């Protein structure tokens, strides 16, 4: 079974909308043993969480991955690769934003653990993959 990392926007939607939570929970019920949480996603979640979501976010989503030691943190090599990818994409005319930098870090840390990124931003992830072909991504939510 492949490994997966869930991108930030999907987690945010699952915390704010019941239907999205149902979709993510259905996926996790089948693939929980192969899903990792990116430390980059944690940073984005905590930075953008509403006060009313903070405690629940940590209790329901972040701590379980921490306790299972299923956290993907970019290594130095991933940071270096991210810098090279960003340079190539900037030279190709891609706009480099803080959010895009985080997407590249999520992608490179996924590669380091052999994971596919589950995301809903195909345009940016396709650009990342063109600059770094080992990146694997898919739309939500893959089936068996």
Q: What is the pLDDT of residues 89-128, one digit of tens each?
A: 999 999 999 999 999 999 999 999 999 999 999 999 999 9
Q: Which class for 123: exposed (0-12), middle (13-18), buried (19 or more C-beta within 10 A)?
A: exposed
Q: What is the pLDDT of residues 28-52, one digit of tens each?
A: 999 999 999 999 999 999 998 888 8
Amino acid 144: pLDDT: 65
Amino acid 85: pLDDT: 98
Could you give the domains of the chain? 3-138 (3.40.50.1010)
- Residue 45 CB-half CA count within 13 A: 29
**Is there a contact between 117 and 136 (Cβ–Cβ < 8 Å)?**
yes
User: Can you list the positions of beta strands (E) in 1-144?
Assistant: 3-6, 35-38, 71-72, 115-118, 137-138
Please give the model's pTM, rounded to 2 decimal places.
0.94
Q: What angle do CA 69, 8, 40 make, to 5 degrees?
A: 55
């Amino acid at each position: 079974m492949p490994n997966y990392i869930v991108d930030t926007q999907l987690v945010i939607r699952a915390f704010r909308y019941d239907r999205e939570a149902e979709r993510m929970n259905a996926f996790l019920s089948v693939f929980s043993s192969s899903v990792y949480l990116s430390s980059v996603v944690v940073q984005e979640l905590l930075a953008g969480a509403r006060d009313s979501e903070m405690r629940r976010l940590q209790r329901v989503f972040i701590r379980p991955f921490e306790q299972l030691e299923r956290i993907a943190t970019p290594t130095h090599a991933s940071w270096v690769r991210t810098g090279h990818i960003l340079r190539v994409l900037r030279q190709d005319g891609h706009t480099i934003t803080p959010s895009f930098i985080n997407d590249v870090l999520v992608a490179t840390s996924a590669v380091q653990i052999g994971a596919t990124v589950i995301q809903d931003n195909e345009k940016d992830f396709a650009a990342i993959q063109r600059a770094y072909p080992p990146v694997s991504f898919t739309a939500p939510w893959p089936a068996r």
